[in-house]
Amino acid sequence: MTEAKAQLLRKRYNAERRFKLYGQIAIALALMFLAVFMYKIFSKGYTAFQKTWIQTEVHYDQELMLIEGSNPTLQDLEDADYYDVAYQAMTRLDPNLPEELDRQLIQLVAYSYEKEVKELLLDNPDYLGKIVPIRLTASDDLDQVHKGNYPRDIPEEDRRVNDYQLKIYDMLNERGDIISKFNFSFFTNPDSREAELAGIASSFMGTVFSILVCLIFSFPIAVLAAIYLEEFAPKNKFTDFIEVNINNLAAVPSIVFGLLGLGVLLAVFNLPRSTPLVGGITLSLMTLPTIIIAARASLKAVPPSIREAALAMGASNMQTTMHHTVPLSMPGTLSGTIIGLAQALGETAPLILIGMVAFVNTIPGTPVDPAASLPVQIYIWSESAERGFVEKVSACIMVLLAFLILMNLAAQVVRHKFEKKWS
């Protein structure tokens, strides 16, 4: 081998080594961004899955509750006055409470404390007249203090928790009366103005309903369109034109579909505003082209030999399509559909336009009840000033990501498990 040739060979190997290195750097960078992103979300959000309670005692004093008679019915308990017993339960925390500080003491628990006192009795009517232990949801400020998210060393006038409240907190904490457990209410509560009570139930159900509506509207239409275009439609200028437009539609920014939903579904058809029904239909406009493209691609991937085999057996066009081509294309179509739905799942802009950004403090039971959706919930909470919402945003992102990962996994499973092999 001549020297020149050896040099050329060396250069070639070096070039290849360099190219590999660039690739590895690119992958490493991508992984690093992902890791930082995940770390940020998890380190901020994991505390949202913990909830803080204050343990105290409540005396269900019949007199204070203005209940008459010795055998009150459940309705009597329902109508009773709980203000004084709840107040007493709180003031019990500090026996030598200065009169003027009682409001500050009560600020340590969520504003719903009176309701919690009432619910405990309604669940256990025999508590009437007794002194029983009770757990009250801590206010979000105290919750943040307990989780160590709130700085204690800044001047008192800049703090939302004052010195007196901190003193009480420390005392309770020492006594073991601050309880921290898994936060089920994050999953079962609807949205709330109070961070300690806010949960994702309404937005989660809103998302589920929207996705279902989206699936119901987009899947049949898209699959029929794809089958017609791929198997039956004549190939001419007009069908080419349709094909180009479907591809264009897939690239239209989602906010445009939101405007369409606003202008047509709400203004013309007068469908109920802020509901998953409208949200789902709007999202299905976006999902439609994605599914059509996926379904056509998987129809195209069915080998022509299968169609020829069926046709040569005397099957009609329709039979060939329905008995052979469509079943064989289903795995690809379904995984395309799931990916399309996963995209729709993360959409925020069109939902904001059709009013799914409204503050909803009820859990929707049907697709025509007002609801938010998970990505919109993230948006709403990230707008809130209170510190307690910061962890909620991250927790909500985690739930959304888990949802997305589950759907993408489902798409993978569908594709691999049901894909038929042909020779």
Distance in Å, CB of 315 to another protein, minimum: 6
Sign for the pseudo-dihedral over CA of 190, 123, 179, 85: positive
Q: How far apart are CA 140 and CA 194, in angstroms?
A: 7
* Closer Cβ to another protein, 45 or 331, answer by number: 331
Q: How far apart are CA 147 and CA 351, in angstroms?
A: 34
Q: How far apart are CA 350 and CA 261, in angstroms?
A: 8
Binding positions for another protein, rule: CB under 8 A? 234-235, 303, 305-316, 319, 323-324, 328, 420-423
Distance in Å, CB of 235 to another protein, minimum: 6
Phi, psi of 421 (to 5 degrees): -95, 135
Distance in Å, CB of 292 to another protein, minimum: 21
Residue 54 DSSP label: E
Distance in Å, CB of 222 to another protein, minimum: 24
Whether residue 363 contacts residue 192, with contact meaning beta carbons closer than 8 Å, is answered with no
* Closer Cβ to another protein, 327 or 365, answer by number: 327
* Closer Cβ to another protein, 14 or 305, answer by number: 305
Token pair belonging to 227: 């089958």
* Closer Cβ to another protein, 22 or 422, answer by number: 422
Distance in Å, CB of 223 to another protein, minimum: 20
* Closer Cβ to another protein, 4 or 313, answer by number: 313
Distance in Å, CB of 302 to another protein, minimum: 10
Alpha-carbon dihedral 400, 395, 274, 220, rounded to 10 degrees: 10
* Closer Cβ to another protein, 181 or 420, answer by number: 420
Distance in Å, CB of 241 to another protein, minimum: 17
Whether residue 371 contacts residue 357, with contact meaning beta carbons closer than 8 Å, is answered with no
Residue 263 CB neighbours (<10 A): 11
Sign for the pseudo-dihedral over CA of 131, 135, 139, 142: positive
Q: How far apart are CA 362 and CA 368, in angstroms?
A: 13
* Closer Cβ to another protein, 43 or 319, answer by number: 319
